[in-house]
A = this chain, B = another copy of it.
């Protein structure tokens, strides 16, 4: 294809989010970073143009067949497109690309224009043993876009951005059918024309898309009010090398296993989700966000548990531990230190004004009874305005020589304190023994009647080999999560980073079930090989 026809590469390959809104470290951060022993690196990150790429090894026959399916202008092996489709946005992913390592780059990027083209691409790739990495927002932070290359004649990234339509709206049933390539903000734009919203706002909202939400079981910041994405999906269409699967005859049924829930979370290994039908709701007329302070994380968690078990649930609810609270409540100029003590809870209410007022009042009673101190709307508004900004700080932190990464898990309420403690200890010990004692922040951002998620942010000085440094910390955290009997991910997914722990979590027989399903729809094993489950040589 000619360069002018290349669809826009709209995100920087190794910087988070919208390139027009880069993150900036507050001047006061320098002191905090100094205390962690952070030293500015000698070299800046590699320039994109100078990143070397492995030679394209896609068989000529594949190139021609793919062009025949999607049109020559929708297949490219151009340098910038290959770099842009290399891996996702985890810190290790960024570190590798910053160091000029694009060894995981696809041989080509293919842009299908319809469900049928996706099926045809998969048939071609299955026949020629070309691995396919479904690429939607490209926002994976768990190595979900890093395929195993062995056994394959090449690797393509299947970029879904041309499947960008709102296919149907059912006002009566309150459902909408969206194609996989629609990004978060565009989905809201399309639905707003009908007075509707998805209500799904993960932190990757600006980049992530519908297909990724579904394939990786995304959970957004409004999950308490709008539910997780897997709870919103009532139907889906899946393209596989052996044809199409269409699921979802009804909201819920007793007609066999819920096979939608087998595809949701399959991370591109069982097929490519090309569209989903989701439950939608009217755009809320009113939104109020406010803050509460609790004396401790345990007290705050008890307050959240009361909301989850007795109700009413806010639309947004989150609790930061003391360390994260210090960052959140502090003046931006003290963003990495200081601030008043205690633990901050943010609650948000969205709906009609009567409903918001009533729910806010009752939830406020529950939080006050649990020992919460009302802080008014200022902290809530501050959170709302900055809700997508957190990850933007990572790039300048990495530039400054900081290692920063996040991980998350979920467990039952009775296990929450033990889990938080053991993961914090595991991270702290694994990094301290490398001479880089970390700051570990933690929050709860998703609550259920029976349990809650825990989200950790880790900040420390970069060691000489930051990839190996983080690998040790991540391994320790994975082991702590497994030992606590918790799930290895609440909303980031499995990818390659959690694959081994996930296999332990479900056990060998359940893993065999997944392999059996995969062999059925993907006999050549080309679909995102090595993600979710160990790669196997195809039949």
Chain A residues close to B by CB (< 8 Å): 170, 172-175, 216-219, 228, 230, 234, 240, 242-247, 249-267, 270, 279, 281, 305, 309, 311, 355, 409-415, 448-451, 485-494, 498, 502, 505-507, 509-510, 512-517, 519-521, 532
Q: Report Cα–Cα, A348/B244, bound state, in Å.
A: 43
9 intermolecular pairs with C-beta atoms under 8 Å apart: A173-B415, A245-B509, A249-B485, A250-B410, A254-B487, A256-B502, A257-B262, A509-B521, A516-B516
Q: Report Cα–Cα, A512/B242, bound state, in Å.
A: 11
Q: Is the CB of B521 within 8 A of A172?
A: no
Most chain B CB within a 10 A radius of its CB, from A409, A448, A486: A448
**Which residues of B lie under 8 Å from residue A173 when comparing CB positions?**
412-415, 450-451
Partner of A256, one of B245, B486, B506, B520: B506
Q: Report Cα–Cα, A487/B491, bound state, in Å.
A: 29
Q: Report Cα–Cα, A243/B508, bound state, in Å.
A: 10
Q: Is the CB of B262 within 8 A of A266?
A: no
Query: Given known contacts A228-B252, A261-B262, what 10 new A-B pairs fall within 8 Å (CB)?
Result: A173-B451, A219-B254, A245-B513, A247-B510, A251-B450, A255-B493, A257-B270, A258-B261, A512-B521, A513-B520
Q: Is the CB of B261 within 8 A of A265?
A: no
Report how many copies the assembly holds. Answer: 2
The verdict on A249 contacting B520 (CB below 8 Å), with A258-B261, A279-B449 known, is no
Q: Report Cα–Cα, A344/B414, bound state, in Å.
A: 44
Q: Is the CB of B489 within 8 A of A451?
A: no
**Which residues of B lie under 8 Å from residue A216 when comparing CB positions?**
254
Partner of A265, one of B258, B266, B412, B486: B258
Partner of A254, one of B253, B257, B265, B450: B265
CB distance from A289 to the nearest CB of B (A): 21
CB distance from A254 to the nearest CB of B (A): 4
Q: Report Cα–Cα, A217/B256, bound state, in Å.
A: 8
Most chain B CB within a 10 A radius of its CB, from A244, A253, A450, A505: A253
CB distance from A156 to the nearest CB of B (A): 23
Q: Is the CB of B251 within 8 A of A257?
A: no
**Which residues of B lie under 8 Å from residue A309 when comparing CB positions?**
174, 281
The verdict on A410 contacting B251 (CB below 8 Å), with A506-B259, A513-B520 known, is yes
Closest to A508 in B: B243
Q: Is the CB of B255 within 8 A of A505?
A: yes
